[in-house]
Amino acid sequence: MDQATPTPATDPSAGPESGLGPATQEFLRALGSPTRQRIMMLFAQGAELSVGEVAERAGISQATASQQLTLLRRGRVVTSRRAGKTVYYRADRDGVLAALADLRAYLLTCC
């Protein structure tokens, strides 16, 4: 279920001088919520969790966990895989590193 999202390296129109790339904008939106930030801490040390496990550990409903994980996946902060009927989530290290590289290039250009 990994989603291929263009990164600055693969999207020539997304350079620091033209602003942040769309993938990095989604990344920042994904981390813009205290609930999603709390969820991300659940994935420390490479943890892989189902929606139900995220809901239980974060103290939120399963529906809310599912919605929040969808936004995190869209922002390439988490990735997912399906095993039977269960979807497991884990941190998307490559997605995070790509967004951080784009953000760094942008900030070094503008500031």
Give the phi and the psi of residue 47 in degrees, each rounded to 5: -60, 145
Q: Which domains does the chain have, with CATH numbers?
A: 16-110 (1.10.10.10)
**Global confidence as pTM:** 0.80
Where does residue 21 rank: exposed (0-12), middle (13-18), buried (19+ CB within 10 A)?
Answer: buried
Burial class (CB in 10 A: 0-12, 13-18, 19+), 106: buried
pLDDT digits over 32-89, tens only? 999 999 999 999 989 999 999 999 999 999 999 999 999 999 999 999 999 999 999 9
Tokens of 22: 């769309």
Question: Is the pLDDT assigned to residue 31 strictly greater than 50?
Answer: yes
